[in-house]
Structure 1
Amino acid sequence: MAAYEYRALDQEREVRGLVQADTARQARAQLRERGLLPLSVDPVASRSGRGSARYGRERALILRQMAALLNAGLPLDEVLALSADPAGARRAGRALATIRARVLEGHALSDAMVEHPGLFPLMYQRSVAAGEQAGQLDQVMHRLADHAEQQLALARGLIVALVYPLLLALISLVVVWGLLAFVVPRVVGVFEHARQQLPWITRSLLELSRLLSEQGGWLLLALTLLAAALAAALRTESLRARIDRRLLGLPLIGRLLRSRASALFSRTLAILVSSAVPAVDALRAAAEVSSNRKVRADLMAAADRVREGASISAALEPLEWLPSLTLRLIRGGEHAGELGDMLEHAAALQEADLADAGQVLLAVLQPLLILLVGLVVLYIVLAILLPIMNLSQLLG
């Protein structure tokens, strides 16, 4: 059985939706039985594969709803049917419909999730598989929903924090470009026609203004080509790996990235360990969650060391970006048999450090942006005022 997306007429009004059927012909027959006139019936493709960030809100909604429905004792196929189109999760609903179709065919939920790594990355697949084996799928879903909501809150907090400096930078660029392209040539042009000797700062501003007004299109094209070349270069895996390694070592941004990487790793591993996922699989799944190639490679190497017989804490010890406090908590959790709880505690500490690092970065970034904008405005004001002052002295 597969999922089909349809468009149909219902009393001269077009409706859209999803229907489960073995073939497109059977799907059309079901629609006619409902009194609908099918316009188009297309199989739902597995379109959720690339990247999971764009499904963050939808994933959180779906997991929370599935956890609540499973806890209420509903069968899995009904849970998937009811969760296929929650408010605000239409894109993910298509993927969930195909997952339900696989479950109805007899596949395990975790196996059906494999076809949709964008909506359900490896960490979710491993946790659900462990929950199915232990008969604790509802509890695992609650943990995964908590995790998805926490990651969504962190991402939203970062976006909100960056809105002001980014908006300030954008407005400043637009204002400065408008001044240089339209206002400055007219104001300073008056002094040129008067054949007055202009100060060097005014002459430099005029040259910059001419460059923007006469060659602005070419400059924009050059910047576009440069951005495209950089984007193409960043697709090279070796270059991305070197950049990721360097970023982790930077003073302010590096601290932010290290805190984020360790917080995400600790939170992810806590979910997997609490769901009884084997240590090697848990480390590999935690590695897949990270977008930093250095972090990912380090965690994959740690998983190999665990497979060879090392403890998790011993395998993680060579990782330079992992805080020593987190490592001590993991070691203590292993000895006490409370690794999941200790990882949760480590994640909470790192998330607090991440918030502090973000505040420090913003505290440095905002004054720097204001200072930079002030210097540019001062440059333009001096370039306009100096000729006026010179002219007034000559007339006086």
Structure 2
Amino acid sequence: MAAFDYKALNGQGKQVKGVIEADSARHARSLLRDQRLMPLEIEAVVSKTSNQASSGFSLFKPKVSVAELALITRQIATLVAAGLPVEEALKAVGQQCEKAKLASMIMAVRSRVVEGYSLADSMAEFPQVFDELYRAMVASGEKSGHLEVVLNRLADYTERRQQLKSKLTQAMIYPITLTIVAIAVVAILLAAVVPQVVGQFEHMGQQLPATTQFLIAASDFVKDYGLIVLAVIVLAIVAFNRLLIKPQFKMKWHTIVLDLPVIGKVSKGLNTARFARTLSILTASSVPLLDGMRIASEVLLNVKVRAAVEDATARVREGTSLGAALTNTKLFPPMMLYMITSGEKSGQLENMLERAADNQDREFESNVTIALGVFEPMLVVTMASIVLFIVLAILQPILQLNNMISG
């Protein structure tokens, strides 16, 4: 059976939407008529999403947030642990979903399971929701017979990722807002306030101080070319994002990012923490080490670190230990390398990877806190310096005028 999205009219003439399971579109229409509904549109969920994926149009693809994915995973794990078959657990979760598109996706996965496909293969119909990491862990859980345990680990992982994302978002709101407000205040001062004040000094007939002349020139530039500069900045950002599509440029840029004083440390910490966390849950789910390293490398954001991990994977395949292979990358912190090497020697790699991941998460949060702690006072000092310069540039002609009158 397959899942179909439908639009139909009920007995009162109102349009209703939903998901129905049927062998074909004709069977779906028949089932709707049995429910006293007049079918208007019938469309298979899987074929619809695959067509959208092939066309590259993503507006109507099922959008699932990290929090929703964690909730779905936790619900499926709980129902499977309670002894329900996978298809029944999926049906129950799909019926509880408030979002129609999310319910359609889950019912489509269920229809594939009913046809005889594994849960991991069924989820492969929606790669934009269930990535390779997710599917690999589900596949390992199905093979080992501990699907509920693996799903609970996945739920923990997605919830932890959501918490980290939330912390980063909250941490960045204040400095971004402060930066935007600071730029806007300076622009308004130069474009609207300064010309009215400084214009009063033009009739003095004497040469204005250098600071005042510079302020007038800056004000004129903002008035004449401010919008042009803003447009150039926007175009530069768009062009830069397009250049990032090219692998060679992206590699060069990510290499530069890793070498930056503060940002580089934060970026390196984020990627190494993500690698350690991903590899730890894959290893705990009985995924082979080489497959785990390959999958973990694909979730890294920095392509330079990703390439280094791929090179380390090749070294491990040739017989090198994991600790030695990661040491050769010169990107991972010494404490993490020591813990991994210790885990390999003691046969406790799974536990040591988890501890290394926890340690990296704490270090990453500490680096972000330090970076923001440095940035915020620097921005305040910069703003205060600019305002002080504007005030001095305005006061100097006034003091000159007072000296002329008193003289």
Q: Matches of 1:279 and 1:236 in 2, distance apart?
A: 30
What amino acid does structure 2 have at the position aligned with 1:9?
Answer: L
Write the deviation string for residues 260-287 of structure 1: whole angstroms up to 9, x where unpaired: 2221111111111111111111111111
What pairs with 1:165-314 in structure 2 (closer than 5 Å)?
165-193=175-203, 195=205, 197-314=207-324
* Shift of residue 89, structure 1, vs aligned partner: 6.1
CA 303–195 in structure 1, closer or farther in 2 if over 3 Å, else same: same
Q: Matches of 2:155 and 2:124 in 1, distance apart?
A: 18
SS of the equivalent of 1:255 reads helix
CA 162–333 in structure 1, closer or farther in 2 if over 3 Å, else same: same
Q: Percent identity?
A: 39
CA 127–205 in structure 1, closer or farther in 2 if over 3 Å, else same: same
- Report if the CA contact (8 A) 1:52-1:120 is conserved: no
Q: Does 1:41 align with 2:42?
A: yes
TM-score in terms of structure 2 length: 0.89
Q: Structure 2: give runs of 5+ residues left out of the alignment.
A: none
Q: Matches of 2:95 and 2:295 in 1, distance apart?
A: 27
Structure 1 stretch displaced more, 365-374 or 7-16: 7-16
Q: Matches of 2:183 and 2:151 in 1, distance apart?
A: 46
CA 189–3 in structure 1, closer or farther in 2 if over 3 Å, else same: farther
2:131 maps to 121
* Shift of residue 4, structure 1, vs aligned partner: 2.7
* Shift of residue 144, structure 1, vs aligned partner: 0.6
Q: Does 1:357 align with 2:388?
A: no
- Report if the CA contact (8 A) 2:97-2:103 is conserved: no
Q: Matches of 1:88 and 1:203 in 2, distance apart?
A: 63
SS of the equivalent of 1:265 reads helix
- Report if the CA contact (8 A) 1:3-1:101 is conserved: yes
Q: Matches of 2:361 and 2:318 in 1, distance apart?
A: 31
CA 174–276 in structure 1, closer or farther in 2 if over 3 Å, else same: same
* Shift of residue 393, structure 1, vs aligned partner: 2.2
SS of the equivalent of 1:79 reads helix
Which of 134, 140, 148 does residue 150 from structure 2 map onto?
140
Counting matched residue pairs gives: 396
TM-score in terms of structure 1 length: 0.92
What amino acid does structure 2 have at the position aligned with 1:387?
Answer: P
Write the deviation string for residues 351-392 of structure 1: whole angstroms up to 9, x where unpaired: 111111111111101111111111121122222222222222
Asked which structure has the greater RCO (Cα within 8 Å, sep 6+), the reply is 1
Q: Matches of 2:188 and 2:376 in 1, distance apart?
A: 23
Q: Structure 1: give runs of 5+ residues left out of the alignment.
A: none
- Report if the CA contact (8 A) 2:62-2:102 is conserved: no
Question: RMSD in angstroms over aligned alpha carbons?
Answer: 2.5
- Report if the CA contact (8 A) 1:52-1:121 is conserved: no
SS of the equivalent of 1:197 reads coil
What amino acid does structure 2 have at the position aligned with 1:43?
Answer: A
Q: Matches of 2:63 and 2:28 in 1, distance apart?
A: 32
Q: Matches of 2:94 and 2:205 in 1, distance apart?
A: 74
Structure 1 stretch displaced more, 19-28 or 80-89: 80-89
Structure 1 stretch displaced more, 258-267 or 97-106: 97-106
Q: Matches of 2:97 and 2:223 in 1, distance apart?
A: 49
